[in-house]
Structures are given as structure tokens and as C-alpha cells.
Chain A
Amino acid sequence: MLHKYGNLFVSSKMTQKQIDKIVAQFAIRLEATILFDIVVDAALIGGFLAKIDGMTYDASIREKLATFENITR
């Protein structure tokens, strides 16, 4: 199976079980074993942000707030 490397930023209240689920879902979707460097980032507020092979997957509350701010600007 293909191996990929990435960075995974998670919010401070993310459990290990949830982190494992994120890693497993990416492995299924990208059809590869993902080796993440995991960092806890409180600035995300909630959710996570993953960077894999130059792609960024932002599912954080910080990003949603930024999107909302851009829409209302």
C-alpha cells in the first residue's frame, strides 16, 4: 500500500479516538497509509487541519469563522 506523509493539526479537545478516525478516513479516501506528524493547535478552536502532498484539508472552526467573515465583508 502507498505511504504518504502529512501534518495533522488538531484542536485541543480532540480525543485520540477521533484522531485515529481522521487518520483512518484519509487512508481510505486517498487509498494510502498516511503517516501524520500530529500537532495540537488551540487556535483551530475546534475540528482539524490536514496537509498531505501539498493539499490542505481545513475542517476547523477557525476556517469556518474566517469564511463567514469573508462572506460578510
Chain B
Amino acid sequence: MNGLSMGLILLNLLIIVFVLDRLLHRPVSKYLEARRERIRKELDEANESREQANQLKKSFEEKMQDADAICNEKLATANEQARVQSQNMLSQTQSQADELLAQARKKSQQEYDKAVVDLQRDVTQIAIALAQQILEREVKEEDNQHIIDSFFEEVVR
């Protein structure tokens, strides 16, 4: 191999390198650069989306905490109102029961008193009827005399 051949080989090599650079390396590099740029852009967008998502998540969690607090507060208020209402109803029911019991006792006492009075009256009437029957049979002349004497001594003065 002489120097000319070596020069031709070198020239061919340079041509091949030039052609490859023009036809393959530059488009591929350009494509890769564009792809890298697109990927970086997509990564930026993904980061931004993740950041937005984190903010949304944080906002959601805060709103959930607020909602929980409001819910708990309303639940506590409702429980307190229910407790107070229950207490009031219990007190009212107790008062009504006491009043009914007092009325029942009063009525019972009144009926007992009336029964006692009725019984006393009946016993008195029976005793008087018996006394009348006995006196009708037993009153004698001297009894009339005693009545007359007593009357004029004590009543007619």
C-alpha cells in the first residue's frame, strides 16, 4: 500500500465521517436535544402539577380539619341541647308526677274524711233511733215529772 492509497482511504474516511455527521449525528443530536428539552419541560410541568396537587391536598386537609372541628362543635352543641332538653323534660315530668300524687293524696284524704263523717252520722242516727225506741218503751211517769220540774226550774225563769 502506497501513500496514494493511504490518502484515498483517509479521504474516504473523512467523507464517510462527514456524511455520517451530516446525515446521522446531527439529526440524532438535534432529536436528542429536542427530546431532552421536552422531557425537562414535562418534568417541570410534572413538578408544577405535583406542587399544585400538594397545595390542593394541603388545602383539602385544612378544610377537612375545619369541617371536623365544625362538626364536632355542632355535635357537642346538639348533645348539650339534648341533655338540657332531657333534663327539662325530666324535671317537668317529675313535677307533674308530684302534683298528681299530691292531688291523689288530697282526694284520698278527702274521701277518707267524708267516709269517717258519714260513718259517724250513720252511727249517731242508729244510736238515736235505738235510744228513741228504748225511751218510747221505758219513759215512765216519774221521768215526765223530772222533765217538768227541770224545765220550770232551769229554762223558764
A interface, CB within 8 angstroms of B: 11, 13-15, 18, 21-22, 25-26, 29, 42, 45-48, 57, 59, 61-62, 65, 68-69, 72-73
Contact = CB atoms under 8 A, between A and B. Distances in A.
Q: How extensive is the interface on chain B, given as a class? A: 20 to 34
B148 A48 contact: yes
A13 B150 CA distance: 17
Given A14-B144, A18-B144, A25-B152, A61 B139 contact: yes
Contacts of B125: 69
Nearest to A73: B121
Contact of B139 (A46, A48, A59): A46
A46 B128 contact: no
Interface of B: 120-121, 124-125, 128, 131-132, 135-136, 139-141, 143-145, 147-148, 150-152, 155-157
Interface-central residue, B139, B150, B155, B157, by most chain A CB under 10 Å: B139
A13 B140 CA distance: 7
Given A13-B141, A59-B155, A46 B121 contact: no
A69 B130 CA distance: 13
Contacts of B139: 11, 13, 45-46, 61
